[in-house]
Structure 1
């Protein structure tokens, strides 16, 4: 366990879960070295009831704001301060990046400081992934193998949507957010926190990948089921309700039991290495150590690792 508060980078790759292939060595390395599992999502309401985009609904669960979406629809100055991360998690200073202005606005309402891509790509001579990784750790006060106590933020959250174009340095650089770009970014971040270094002991890295919009419509017939037991079998009647179906001690009746988010986490001396050898749904289902938790609990788990919250759940 770290003997001082850690800092963290969370990369949320929207729509990437079905795009990872054998060539993505960075993602597979993270999975093989870290702790892996699933984040269960809620079933989307019927089309007549949908007031928020799928992107916002899924991100809000990852940031534990799904149950407050109606309040977050209000103007920024009307938002309940108790919803903001710094008030929920003992002064947690968090920054947020997305190329989608709607997502940025949502993050601001939760108290995240918005980052511009030009803040992350400052060195034209470097590959974009290396420049971004370097700047991310600099924001956290983790640069050149050293740890500074004068860090700007404790957590940086990156939202990257599959296939989206990201323009940097006043349109001089255009980045297509494909699976190779994401894999290179993961490799670059891991390379900035070498095992045994002072940085590695204070740095937490999480990568969360979601499936694309077609996942919402596939239902129980999907091959990406969290539980191997189908509901129409006799054995399923003997299976107790799983912990990811509960929040605040109350059972939720709108859990989506297919196409969860995939998560891999790595921090030296903190996360437990499991048997997963690659970043894939099938591998996580067979060999991951964390199994499934509710997506709403994810941010609490990160805050706990940063010494900003008590342990959430079991």
Structure 2
């Protein structure tokens, strides 16, 4: 376990889960090293715009209805995003807000790929520099929003192929979370992408006593409007801190079959990360 407070980096691939394939070796390597699972979301309201969906799902990740940075022991946190709605939303919650372009400075060689520059700058902001962990850092936690079709460095591209953001993000006190969502979904989406565990799948003799799953509960009461399909996929890793499960690939099927974290509500995610950073008490068991 960590003997000092950690720093956290959350890479959020908004709507990119659909684009993951076998060529994205960095994603699969992360999944094989860390612990994997799902973050459940609420159903979308009718006639929701893409910007509204983006903010609503991000708000659940931040538990913006209940949590605040003050509640998390004054955690110094930043959001890196290009979407104007997300930047405005993050600012109202007390996050420092930055754009991807702000991380790319003129003192980097032109030959250095932008994705490598961004990765290096993110680590510096968290106190990881030249292979060393500094005792102080500008931030405790950074969320980086990466959305399909966003403009990055003047070029429109689907960031699903830019898995190099994950490359090199290794440090004994870095807690890395990679979250990938399906973006806009409907009830007609692939039924195989369901996190429901039915009695038929449970071979226990106690199947008649099959309880409500914890992600459907809050404070002893059932949650309303839980979406049971197309959850966010999450893999987390920190050297000597996170457990390792049996998942080998970053995929829904592998996470459901071999993931160690199963499903938790998306609005509990920040609480879990804050605990790993020594900024909040433990959520759940």
* TM-score normalised per structure 2: 0.91
Cα distance in 2 between the residues matched to 1:42 and 1:118: 32
Q: Is the 8 A contact 2:178 2:236 kept in 1?
A: yes
Q: Is the 8 A contact 1:84 1:109 kept in 2?
A: no
Matched, 1:113 2:113: no
SS at match of 2:166: helix
Instruction: Name the structure 1 match of 2:12.
Output: 12
Instruction: Name the structure 2 match of 1:80.
Output: none
Q: Is the 8 A contact 2:35 2:237 kept in 1?
A: yes
Cα distance in 1 between the residues matched to 2:183 and 2:267: 19
Q: Is the 8 A contact 1:97 1:117 kept in 2?
A: yes
- How many angstroms does 1:259 deviate by? 0.6
Instruction: Report matched runs for 1:244-263 at 5 Å.
Output: 244-263=215-234
Question: How many pairs are equivalent?
Answer: 277
Instruction: Name the structure 2 match of 1:73.
Output: none
Matched, 1:222 2:191: yes
Instruction: Report matched runs for 1:148-297 at 5 Å.
Output: 148-167=134-153, 171=154, 174=155, 176-181=157-162, 183-187=163-167, 191-193=168-170, 200-213=171-184, 215-218=185-188, 222-229=191-198, 239-297=210-268
Cα distance in 2 between the residues matched to 1:165 and 1:210: 19
Cα distance in 2 between the residues matched to 1:56 and 1:307: 27
In terms of fraction of residues, the more helix-rich structure is: 1
Cα distance in 2 between the residues matched to 1:271 and 1:175: 35
Gaps of 5+ in 2: 201-205
- How many angstroms does 1:20 deviate by? 0.3
Gaps of 5+ in 1: 69-82, 194-199
SS at match of 1:206: strand
Instruction: Report matched runs for 1:38-187 at 5 Å.
Output: 38-47=38-47, 53-65=52-64, 67=65, 84-85=68-69, 87-122=70-105, 123=108, 124-167=110-153, 171=154, 174=155, 176-181=157-162, 183-187=163-167
Cα distance in 2 between the residues matched to 1:24 and 1:111: 34
- How many angstroms does 1:278 deviate by? 0.4
- How many angstroms does 1:201 deviate by? 1.6
Cα distance in 2 between the residues matched to 1:236 and 1:121: 55
- How many angstroms does 1:118 deviate by? 2.8
Superposition RMSD on alpha carbons, in Å? 2.3
